Structure 1
């Protein structure tokens, strides 16, 4: 196989005010550098599209640096090795890495993780068996310390993380699992396929009212993917010594105004609540435990996942814009190859 001299990569060319626009991105041809010792050239097969990428489009301090204007963007990806200068990695191996948003990537071996296409679909390593699944698992097991009998509420429950949280909570012994979503179809999915005990469309009325009907005796654990009104409603519903896992606040990512909620944060004192943010990378020590447990649940059909698949490198920005508008069910991924 001839090694290509050039590849295509998406670049951020302007920082959006509010929702991103197609003109904020540019697909450009870039030269592929010669490999140095310890590097591999990967042809990307699947790209991950995630809400946090919107925050990286702003030049603000965060847990991950912002995208730099005029330079290739990045993110999680799975691909096949087409050239190797790294001991222990061969041509034809499949790996996961963080140089997505491009068709080819030169990846240092110490930043590549092996994946097994015979054990699970390659795209699953970006979602249910990747950072998405680990976030859900660590959030429940370590941050929330879910106990048998807990009542669990998760917002954005039809999304990549939320759908895993709800199912895992039940598998870990929660007595009642409640989810919110943005369409009637997604609410039906939560109840009928993922086994949520209750679910509601947050467009149908105030979140606090709908949550109160679904959990009249209160909530022990809230897994927050949305922020804003959802977080305020959850604080009001929390039981004494409840736990809140702060995973994402997608309701604010495109906002150009200062958020007003939650206005009832004092309840965290009154109820002696625990509120803790989660980043999967802080819980890497749980990865093998998570993979063993999640793989077992998936094999016997107790843990299900869905994907929204965009096709071709050209579709990546539109996939991100659709994700931020709630246009996905489950994990949003871009497929670059039929392999």
Structure 2
């Protein structure tokens, strides 16, 4: 059996910084991979060598400075990007509960090595069979479907943005929770069949631009409407979802990709016109999901996700991008919809 041998941290490390304020969607030229000295860990701190970090659309909002109501700081030119990461502790300051060789998650990705307060790290343990699975966005899908939408046996479920990090798990989770029929949307025709084959969807459509046309597309696939909607997009798709919602339908909103992926916006809004008369007369609920309001979900999700992965009842679709130099391009490719599922950057040991 192979044994992990802890390595000493280097004196210099690399990280991805925002070097200029983007005009429209961020592009690779707005970022730089820079070297900097790596500090020794202070009391209660650890140095973590990053193995994988998450590429996620919320960075558009942080770079746009639209962080009101978001428990994360904005990213200004000169700042290092950040986000969920998995790595190995390579040095520990006095009083740290972690020692070299332990694997943890933290929120200082986009750098080869991170000096992290020990309280900012979570040990991986053995709940999930693949360390990369700790970077999944499935907790949001699971929390929205169990805490807000309350999927019931036989429900017809709609998931917008089905090919993304949340959507590729949401369809499978809805099915495992008892949904009778699951429909998804994707902007990429090439992903339709893969979503049917790998992600639990009965039908998938590429939505039209106008809400009325999207509503017609949805009615063609689900003439009786939807009991549950998990919306990651907003905009025209949310407008259409309300139009085809059944009486008593539950709409759970977990994202705003229509705004984050628009070159004409700054990532902090995704306006949608909703027929409030229909909401009232059909008893429709529309609620936004925030993980911070449901602190019990993460642990519950990890336990169930691990069991489902081991039994083969669920898959974790993700795209692996090799090397720090590819990270800025990976973010642009995410905005362009070129990848399927979760996007992670993998770094070699240095």
- Return closer, same or farther for 1:242/1:118 CA change in 2, 3 Å cut-off: closer
Q: Deviations over 1:231-288 (max 9, x none)?
A: 1110100112211111112121134168663253443233222111112233221222
Q: Following TM superposition, by how much is the alpha carbon of 1:203 offset from its aligned partner in structure 2, in angstroms?
A: 5.3
Partner-residue secondary structure (3-state), 1:295: helix
1:109 aligned partner: 118
- Return closer, same or farther for 1:90/1:69 CA change in 2, 3 Å cut-off: same
Q: TM-score, normalised by structure 2?
A: 0.90
Q: Distance in 2 between matches of 1:195 and 1:72?
A: 37
Match of 2:318 among 289, 302, 307: 307
- Is 1:65 equivalent to 2:73 in the alignment? yes
1:331 aligned partner: 342
Q: 1:41–1:84: 8 Å Cα contact kept in structure 2?
A: yes
Q: Distance in 2 between matches of 1:74 and 1:214?
A: 40
2:4 aligned partner: none
2:3 aligned partner: none
Q: CA RMSD in A?
A: 2.0
2:177 aligned partner: 172
1:273 aligned partner: 284
118-127 or 155-164: bigger deviation: 118-127
Q: 1:136–1:161: 8 Å Cα contact kept in structure 2?
A: yes
Give matches, 1:193-204, under 5 Å: 193-202=198-207
- Equivalent pairs counted in the alignment come to 335
Q: Distance in 1 between matches of 2:270 and 2:79?
A: 31
Q: Following TM superposition, by how much is the alpha carbon of 1:107 offset from its aligned partner in structure 2, in angstroms?
A: 0.8
Q: Following TM superposition, by how much is the alpha carbon of 1:111 offset from its aligned partner in structure 2, in angstroms?
A: 0.7
Q: 1:49–1:320: 8 Å Cα contact kept in structure 2?
A: yes
- Return closer, same or farther for 1:338/1:72 CA change in 2, 3 Å cut-off: closer
Partner-residue secondary structure (3-state), 2:116: strand
Q: Distance in 1 between matches of 2:185 and 2:101?
A: 42
Is there any run of 5+ residues in structure 1 with no aligned partner, and where?
A: none
Q: Distance in 1 between matches of 2:310 and 2:263?
A: 40
- Is 1:38 equivalent to 2:49 in the alignment? no
